[in-house]
Amino acid sequence: MNHEFAWDELELLWNANNFGAVHDWLGERWNYQIQTRPAGHEDPDAQFLQGLAFAALAFYFTQNHNQDGAALLAEDGLARLARFLPVYRGLEVAPVLETLHTLRPLLEGLEHEADCPMQPFVFNKLAYQVIN
């Protein structure tokens, strides 16, 4: 899978606030990693992709009235991605974590089906470095 870290593809989806499609994009690559790498779920690339998927779902859920799911996945994303700071495979991790750190406390005490606590939903754009 030569396009597994084609961050430009992911950037278009992420920066368009299309976090459902972001999750699908990441899920496809995560599934490939766990099936083809000897370490499976423990593979660092798979764990990184899973952390990004957690963040994407947190962003998707908060905008779609699932605040409990958003809080849980924001916690999972924070825990998983912190070990990949500052940059992993060319992708800048800090902007993703900054958005999760901003969102997470706003979810405290919200009703499950409450509106997104960020109106409008503001998130850091995906940033990456081109690796040759």
Question: Quick check: helix, strand or coil at residue 128?
Answer: strand
pLDDT at 1 over 90: no
Q: For 11-52, what is each residue's pLDDT tens digit? A: 999 999 999 999 999 999 999 999 999 999 999 999 999 999
What fold, for 7-106?
Hyaluronidase domain-like (1.10.3450)
C-alpha to C-alpha distance for 62 and 70, rounded to whole angstroms? 5
Q: For 66-84, what is each residue's pLDDT tens digit? A: 999 999 999 999 999 999 9
Specify the residue for token string 């706003």.
106
C-alpha to C-alpha distance for 114 and 69, rounded to whole angstroms? 12
Domains in the chain: boundaries: 7-106
* pTM of the entire predicted model: 0.94
Dihedral Cα 106, 119, 14, 43, nearest 10 deg? 10
